[in-house]
Amino acid sequence: MNNTTETENICGLKRSDFQTTIGGKQTDLYILKNSQGNEVAITNYGGAIVAIMVPDKNGKHANVIQGHDNIQDVINSPEPYLSTLVGRYGNRICKGQFQLNGKVYHLPINNGPNCLHGGKRGYNAKVWEALQMNAQALVLKYTSPYGEEGFSGEVKVTVEYSFTDDNELVIEYMAKTNKKTVINLTSHGFFSLAGIANPTPTIDNLECEINADFYLPIDDTSIPTGEIRMVKGTPFDFRSPKPVGQDIDADDEQIKNGAGYDHCFVLNKAEEGELSFAAKIKEPVSGRTMEVYTTEPGVQVYTDNWADGYKGQNGATFPRRSAICFEAQHFPDSPNRPYFPSVVLNPGEEYTQKTVYKFGVSL
């Protein structure tokens, strides 16, 4: 079901440009539209969000997430995780190996010496079964077979996107396994609140607040050192709003290790698993805002440090640091850090996660 015709779409994307067959499975484009006339466009290839159309303080719509305008460009993107779902394990696992039940599991090495975002063909590169429930909700399903990318257990994953009348993009995840495994799912949205353009503006002037007293330092291969460090007195202190660019090139070992921000922030929580405020950004020119709420213990903040100006949708280009990502998740390399919150999923249990991206304007 796709009850929005192409002529009605303010994102300007054509459904036919996203339709192809991969391994016998159909790809497509799905448009969610709320009562305010705002839109979210998603393809079932990797669950990539290709458009979020929301107004600025003057009521002018723009796409505030980076994406492509056809399926081939999504598949062949220079940024393979561009606003996609990520799994089976979001973020990095040191040297692509971990131990579970006394057995050592070996994963593909695809990021320096480490495994990143589930391996060489993670959930971002899969065609998901899709069902649009109504004008505001889309359900994606994928069964990850036993041994896929080296992980144990067959895992059945369901992800539901809903776009509320309050301009909240709600992403809910559920997963079950038939054998003990590890799991860490997220959505890797590349947000550009100024609106994508040629070139898309830098995020340096974005005002950013992150509800975290601690963050995870990383080594020079972007693996957590194991320390949980206070943000106070460091470039990672976003407890009060400040421009993203203020300390992004600071003379700081952690900034250098991440080539900017590419770190997991330990979110302040009253209780484990509660849906609570994680972060907020405001774009000063357009007045657009985005708030992030999540049940997850952490959020990986990535400031698009490796983009090179590659081509996106409708003539837009994506230079270095033209987007910011808030990847709600468990901590990187958790399978090798027993004192991090557990990422183990057992048969009979259900993995759940909920993250909300709420869009607004500040005059």
Closest CA to 169 of 20, 360, 8: 360
Q: Which residues contact 299 (CB under 8 A, 6 or more apart)?
A: 210, 212, 264, 265, 267, 278, 279, 292, 326, 327, 328, 329
Closest CA to 195 of 318, 72, 291, 307: 318
Catalytic annotation, pick one of 39, 79, 148, 188: 188
In angstroms, what CA-CA distances link 141 with 20, 165, 174, 204?
Answer: 18, 25, 10, 37
Distance CA 75, CA 98 (A): 29
Tens digit of pLDDT for each residue in 158-197? Answer: 999 999 999 999 999 999 999 999 999 999 999 999 999 9
Tens digit of pLDDT for each residue in 85-103? Answer: 999 999 999 999 999 999 9
Q: Is the pLDDT of residue 219 over 90?
A: yes
Q: Which residues contact 270 (CB under 8 A, 6 or more apart)?
A: 276
* pLDDT bucket at 328, cuts 50 / 70 / 90: very high
Tens digit of pLDDT for each residue in 64-84? Answer: 999 999 999 999 999 999 999
List the chain domain ranges. 203-316+323-361
Q: Is the pLDDT of residue 125 over 60?
A: yes
Q: What is the pTM of this model?
A: 0.97
68 is catalytic: no
Arithmetic mean of pLDDT over the chain: 97
* pLDDT bucket at 7, cuts 50 / 70 / 90: low
What pLDDT, on a 0 to 100 scale, did the predictor assign at position 176? 98
61 is catalytic: no
Work out the percent of the chain whose per-residue pLDDT is above 70: 98
Catalytic annotation, pick one of 39, 149, 327, 330: 327
Question: Cβ atoms within 10 A of the Cβ of 80, count?
Answer: 20
Tens digit of pLDDT for each residue in 246-305? Answer: 999 999 999 999 999 999 999 999 999 999 999 999 999 999 999 999 999 999 999 999
How many residues make up the chain in this entry? 363
Question: Cβ atoms within 10 A of the Cβ of 150, count?
Answer: 17
Q: Is the pLDDT of residue 224 over 50?
A: yes
Domain 203-316+323-361 belongs to what architecture? Distorted Sandwich (2.70)
